[in-house]
């Protein structure tokens, strides 16, 4: 099927449902077996759910919520919402009862699909009383809800192929909220259609028998693009991760042709490889021609990436040194950059024309300019968001009168349209000396130290920055003196390359890791800098005054 800017995701779905009904679309693992959903079966379930939604007589284009970890039913529910002419509003599966209450109330959803969750008992008290809940089957459905399987039994599949207008809003995606309350980004069908169309070549959306592996939150724009939109556009098969513990096995079973991982996942992959083969031994083997090929092949197979033709990273900054490290193993990671407000589609690194230090080349149809006032990156395209739901003031602050989105990122654009990110406008802080520091760029300087898993450079109102560090499993298992010496060496190597006011004065090794559960990371594994800085604000000055370079909490 030809990819066109005039086709919606439903157009593509109806095509595969009609022309390849018996092909497997979704593969849901349960231990060593899979429950497979063909295009026909997926369509039948989605159509019955759509019939049920229509029976509720909601106003046309009502917001319908969806909260679940990734699974086959997530996508079936999403297509059912579209088929019923409503707007899908997905939420992160890790929200607390207070957080789910805030976004459900703000979005005005009267219906909520409830799926695969770790703590529904803790979340359910946040569901407003007027919201009708529909439980997915299999994943501990709540008996008080309308049951998925009952709907399939009692409501006939929708016979007509509902086709929305391209200018209709098809989803509202709430941002992960690194600062303040999440904002509801409204995206039109035409935004996704144009985005897929303009990225079809570089993303290789013409590859036969494509396979995708879904494990990052489907309510995030990156997973929505790379998994849901890309797979339905080309009729690919989607595999899911069952649990965190089965992740490696599920990935090896899937052998995806298209794969996306956030930087923290790539760091964990690296540490896993080094745990089996120390860096020195690995480097030695990679210098031996025949052995080098075997080692690279074994590592790719071990990760489940031996069939991958597009290997991506995104959602957070990726240290260039980590990209280069994987490249020497024959794993070419293409960085992509964007934000929910521009469909996550600003630029991507071409596989055969890599320019290290940048996040890739602008997609066709994407305009970028750099603000002369503060170096902020501004973007404009046919896949701009409509605005923030119910937030006209915030919308006006983000999209200007000429339709430029103000990204909040600081960067540079070269003559070949490669984009470089140098910081965040709001993350830059002023030292007590009156100089502005961009912490993310300093943090990249620690990327080569495998004893470090997480880092946050802080120090507003201090003369010099300090770095808060969480050790990797390798670092925790290594003698403290060895770790200390390694951290000091990294710092002595890095500081001379920084401006005098950027040089890090102290390294603070913290006891507790930063996780989604303790609210120090977003669901897409970006650190919540403001939360971390607030927690340790009263200790920063005391740590700064210590005499040693490395301080253990």
Kind of pairing, strands 258-261 and 33-38? unpaired
Range of the domain at 71: 9-203
Domain assignment present for residue 508? The answer is: yes
**Taking all residues of the chain, what is their mean pLDDT, rounded to a whole number?**
91
Domain assignment present for residue 241? The answer is: no
Rounded Cα distance between 4 and 504, Å, is 51
Residue 128 clears pLDDT 90, i.e. is over it: yes
Same domain, 377 and 433: no
| Confidence tier at 430 by pLDDT (50, 70, 90) | low
Domain assignment present for residue 441? The answer is: yes
Same domain, 339 and 467: no
User: 135: closest CA among 68, 47, 224?
Assistant: 68
Domain assignment present for residue 231? The answer is: no
Question: Last residue of some domain: 362, 397, 424?
Answer: 424
Residue 176 clears pLDDT 70, i.e. is over it: no
Domain assignment present for residue 338? The answer is: yes
Domain assignment present for residue 1? The answer is: no
Same domain, 447 and 417: no
Same domain, 349 and 453: no
Tens-place pLDDT, residues 200-242: 999 999 888 999 999 999 999 999 999 999 999 999 999 999 9
Q: Is 344 left (phi over 0), alpha (psi -120 to 50) or beta?
A: left
Domain assignment present for residue 232? The answer is: no
Residue 442: per-residue pLDDT:
86
CA distances from 311 to 222, 266, 314, 337, 505 (A): 13, 11, 10, 14, 37
CA distances from 287 to 292, 301, 412 (A): 6, 20, 36
Tens-place pLDDT, residues 245-260: 899 899 999 999 999 9
The tally of domains found in the chain comes to: 3
Q: For residue 509, which phi and psi values (nearest 5 degrees)?
A: -90, 115
pLDDT greater at residue 76 or residue 539:
76
CATH code assigned at 119: 3.40.50.980
- pLDDT over 90 for what percent of the chain? 70
CATH code assigned at 277: 3.40.50.12780
Same domain, 156 and 291: no
Domain assignment present for residue 251? The answer is: no
Residue 458: per-residue pLDDT:
86
Same domain, 404 and 444: no
Q: What is the mean pLDDT of residues 67-76?
A: 97
Question: Last residue of some domain: 394, 424, 454?
Answer: 424
Q: What is the mean pLDDT of residues 443-447?
A: 83
| Confidence tier at 178 by pLDDT (50, 70, 90) | low
User: 292: closest CA among 319, 325, 328, 262?
Assistant: 328
CA distances from 395 to 146, 315, 316, 400, 422 (A): 36, 22, 23, 9, 24
CATH code assigned at 513: 3.30.300.30
Question: Last residue of some domain: 169, 203, 237?
Answer: 203
Q: What is the mean pLDDT of residues 489-494?
A: 92
Same domain, 392 and 460: no
User: 346: closest CA among 334, 332, 331, 336?
Assistant: 336
Residue 470: per-residue pLDDT:
93
Same domain, 412 and 459: no
Residue 326 clears pLDDT 90, i.e. is over it: yes
Kind of pairing, strands 237-240 and 211-214? parallel
Q: What is the mean pLDDT of residues 119-148?
A: 94
Q: Write out the H or E segment, with its range, that includes residue 239.
A: strand 237-240
Rounded Cα distance between 321 and 489, Å, is 17
Tens-place pLDDT, residues 496-539: 988 888 899 999 999 899 988 888 887 767 788 878 888 888 88
pLDDT greater at residue 434 or residue 157:
157
Same domain, 358 and 444: no
Long-range contacts of residues 432-436, Cβ cutoff 8 Å, at least 24 apart:
432/461, 432/462, 432/463, 433/463, 433/501, 435/499, 435/501, 435/502
pTM: 0.83
Same domain, 523 and 409: no
Same domain, 38 and 144: yes
Same domain, 494 and 445: yes
């Amino acid at each position: 099927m030809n990819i066109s800017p005039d086709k919606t995701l439903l157009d593509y779905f109806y095509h595969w449902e009609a022309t390849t009904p018996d092909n497997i679309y979704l593969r849901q693992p349960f231990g060593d077996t899979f429950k497979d959903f063909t295009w026909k079966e997926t369509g039948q379930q989605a159509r019955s759910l759509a019939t049920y939604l229509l029976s509720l007589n909601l106003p046309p284009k009502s917001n319908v919520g969806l909260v679940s970890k990734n699974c086959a039913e997530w996508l079936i529910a999403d297509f059912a919402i579209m088929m019923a002419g409503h707007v899908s509003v997905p939420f992160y599966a890790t929200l607390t009862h207070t957080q789910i209450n805030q976004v459900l109330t703000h979005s005005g959803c009267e219906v909520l699909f409830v799926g695969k969750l770790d703590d529904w008992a803790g979340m359910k008290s946040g569901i407003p009383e007027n919201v009708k809940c529909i439980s997915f089957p299999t994943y501990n459905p709540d008996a008080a809800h309308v049951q998925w399987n009952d709907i399939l039994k009692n409501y006939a599949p929708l016979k007509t192929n509902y086709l929305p207008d391209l200018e209709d809003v098809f989803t509202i995606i709430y941002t992960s909220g690194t600062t303040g309350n999440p904002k509801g980004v409204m995206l039109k069908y035409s935004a996704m259609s144009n985005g897929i169309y303009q990225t079809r070549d570089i993303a290789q959306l013409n590859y036969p028998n494509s396979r995708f592996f879904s494990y990052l939150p489907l309510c995030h724009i990156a997973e929505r693009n790379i998994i849901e939109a890309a797979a339905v556009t080309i009729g690919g098969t989607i595999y899911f991760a069952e649990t965190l513990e089965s992740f490696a096995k599920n990935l090896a079973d899937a052998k995806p042709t298209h794969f996306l991982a956030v930087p923290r996942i790539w760091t964990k992959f690296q540490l896993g490889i080094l745990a089996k083969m120390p860096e020195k031994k690995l480097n030695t083997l990679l210098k031996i021609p025949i052995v080098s090929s075997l080692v690279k092949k074994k590592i790719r197979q071990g990760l489940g990436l031996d069939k991958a033709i597009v290997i991506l990273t995104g959602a957070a900054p990726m240290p260039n040194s980590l990209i280069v490290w994987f490249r020497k193993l024959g794993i070419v990671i293409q960085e992509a950059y964007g934000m929910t407000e521009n469909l996550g589609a600003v630029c991507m690194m071409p596989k055969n024309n890599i320019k290290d230090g940048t996040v890739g080349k602008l997609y066709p149809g994407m305009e970028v300019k750099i603000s002369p006032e503060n170096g902020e990156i501004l973007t404009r395209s046919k896949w701009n968001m409509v605005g923030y739901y119910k937030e006209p003031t915030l919308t006006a602050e983000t999209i200007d009168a000429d339709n430029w989105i103000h990204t909040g990122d600081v960067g540079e654009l070269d003559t070949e349209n490669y984009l470089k990110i140098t910081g965040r406008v709001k993350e830059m802080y002023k030292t007590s000396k009156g100089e502005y520091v961009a912490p993310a760029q300093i943090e990249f300087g620690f990327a080569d130290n495998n004893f470090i898993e997480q880092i946050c450079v802080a120090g507003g109102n201090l003369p010099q920055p300090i770095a808060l560090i969480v050790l990797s499993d390798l670092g925790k298992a290594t003698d403290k003196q060895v770790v200390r010496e390694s951290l000091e060496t990294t710092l002595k190597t890095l500081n001379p390359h920084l401006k005098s006011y950027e040089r890090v004065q102290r390294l603070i090794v913290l006891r507790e890791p930063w996780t989604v559960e303790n609210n120090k990371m977003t669901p897409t594994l970006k650190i919540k800098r403001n939360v971390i800085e607030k927690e340790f604000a009263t200790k920063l000055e005391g740590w700064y005054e210590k005499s040693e370079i490395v301080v253990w909490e």
